[in-house]
Amino acid sequence: MNKRLIVSILLVSVLGLAWWNFFSGPAQSNWTPAQRQLLESLSLSALPKLPEDPSNDVADLEAAAELGHRLYFDARLSSNGVVSCASCHKPELMFTDGLPLAIGVDIGSRHTPSLVGIAYSPWFYWDGRKDSQWAQALAPLEARHEHNIDRLQIARLIFSDENYRQRYEAIFPALTEIPLDPVSASPRGNEAQQSAWDSLSSLQQENINRVFTNIGKSLAAYQRKIIPGRSRFDDYVDNIPASNATASELFSASEVAGLALFLEEAQCITCHNGPLFTNYEFHNTGVLAVNGQLPPMGRYDGIRIAREDPFNCLGPYSDASRSECIELRFARDTNELVGAHKTPTLRNVTDTAPYMHGGQIETLIEVMEHYNEAPVSMLSHNEAKPLGLRPVQLRQLEAFMHTLSAPLASDPKWLTPPTDQ
């Protein structure tokens, strides 16, 4: 081959490579040992077993999950007879509802989060105002825009429905002192419900609260069955060839590039880390307030509410000892928490649009554009900085998000209503 030909071939290849790099981002040819370690920490193979919940003695009791399963799908637990937990957390949408703002008996002010792997979370709600899954479950039941029922009506349903009563009494103490009158009563209800509550004896109140919390504990036991399944991402990470080449039939070049951006340039991993792609902490990421709403205080208010909740880990209905309530006792209060929301899991994120605490962002590519821009926060400051990525890189990040979806690992019987209902 003559010299000139070799030079031209080289030149063409160099230019070609430069062109390719410009449009697709630098080709990541090898993961460094540090990156490999990081990747392994994201695989479902690194997911520990479910954390214990010392505040809930029946968290891992099969019979409690069975009772919770029935309650979860039961629309009798609502004032209009059509709302159940499953109305908003639909198994077929990875336990979300596809709506920007949730609709129960009325429209709410928040977007329905996914419940996939929820038992790993130490805090519940976008602002973390509940510190256990059972205490969380009590809130939608009495919320006016959600189920809009109350604890007395729930206790009465368990008492009067033969199937519920048998299942309940097989786990918890036998039901007594459930008054037939008044019709409706709760310390959290409207004026009439509150004064009806005040008219009950303290023994009756105590018994109703016990049934109410046991219902929450059973719903929590059920939700511990909602477990993410292995996705293409996990297969890729667990099979990175020994030669350390990133090229693999499991991931396209664009997915590899998106993953590299996720780890390095875009720093998504700072908050979306571990096998569920969340650090379970609260951050302000400059998401605009929902139209017509004031910018929310987020975790700043959430931690205060959790501390005051009579159903928290330190309260009389918790099964934990004081020393076991580490999260609640040592939670920080800082101004950093103003406007901060819980980092959501990215597992199955392609099935859970729209996004963010108020469903403000419709599509994944728009989420990437949001991070690229990192708008100034309306309250306090946005922790994420503008990324300056090119459109093709945003598409690569999006392509990577798609590799995190997979059918759930749960036994399918938990994903449909129980057959005896």
Q: Which residues of the shown chain bind ligand HEC in the complex (CB under 6 A)?
A: 83, 85, 87-89, 102-104, 108, 110-113, 115, 118, 121, 124-126, 133, 136-137, 140-141, 146-147, 219, 266-268, 270-272, 283, 285, 287, 341-344, 346, 349, 352, 355-357, 364, 367, 371, 383-384, 397
Nearest to 379 by CA among 289, 305, 313: 289
Nearest to 113 by CA among 358, 391, 412: 358
Q: What does the longest C-alpha to C-alpha distance in the chain come to?
A: 102
Closer CB to ligand HEC, 146 or 234, in the complex: 146
Closer CB to ligand HEC, 286 or 315, in the complex: 286
Closer CB to ligand HEC, 121 or 214, in the complex: 121
Closer CB to ligand HEC, 200 or 401, in the complex: 401
Give the whole-angstrom CA distance, residue 394 versus residue 372. 8
Task: State in angstroms the smallest separation of the CB of 101 from ligand HEC.
Answer: 7
Task: State in angstroms the smallest separation of the CB of 111 from ligand HEC.
Answer: 6
Task: State in angstroms the smallest separation of the CB of 327 from ligand HEC.
Answer: 13
Task: State in angstroms the smallest separation of the CB of 55 from ligand HEC.
Answer: 14
Closer CB to ligand HEC, 179 or 375, in the complex: 375
In sign, the C-alpha dihedral spanning 349, 353, 359, 363 is positive
Task: State in angstroms the smallest separation of the CB of 123 from ligand HEC.
Answer: 7
Task: State in angstroms the smallest separation of the CB of 195 from ligand HEC.
Answer: 25
Closer CB to ligand HEC, 71 or 237, in the complex: 71
Residue 219 CB coordination number (10 Å): 26
Token digits of residue 244: 């350390």
Question: In which residue are the tokens 């076991």 written?
Answer: 324
Q: Which conformational region is residue 50 in: left (phi greater than 0), alpha (psi within -120 to 50 degrees), or beta?
A: beta
Task: State in angstroms the smallest separation of the CB of 364 from ligand HEC.
Answer: 6
The count of C-alpha atoms lying within 13 angstroms of the C-alpha of 49, restricted to the half-sphere facing its C-beta, is 3
In sign, the C-alpha dihedral spanning 233, 237, 239, 242 is positive
Task: State in angstroms the smallest separation of the CB of 193 from ligand HEC.
Answer: 18
Give the whole-angstrom CA distance, residue 29 versus residue 21. 12
- Contact yes or no for 127/301 (Cβ under 8 A): yes
90 exposure class (CB count in 10 Å sphere: 0-12, 13-18, 19+): middle
Closer CB to ligand HEC, 148 or 204, in the complex: 148
Whether omega for the bond prior to residue 354 falls within 30 degrees of 0, making it cis, is yes
Closer CB to ligand HEC, 108 or 315, in the complex: 108
Nearest to 144 by CA among 191, 89, 197: 191
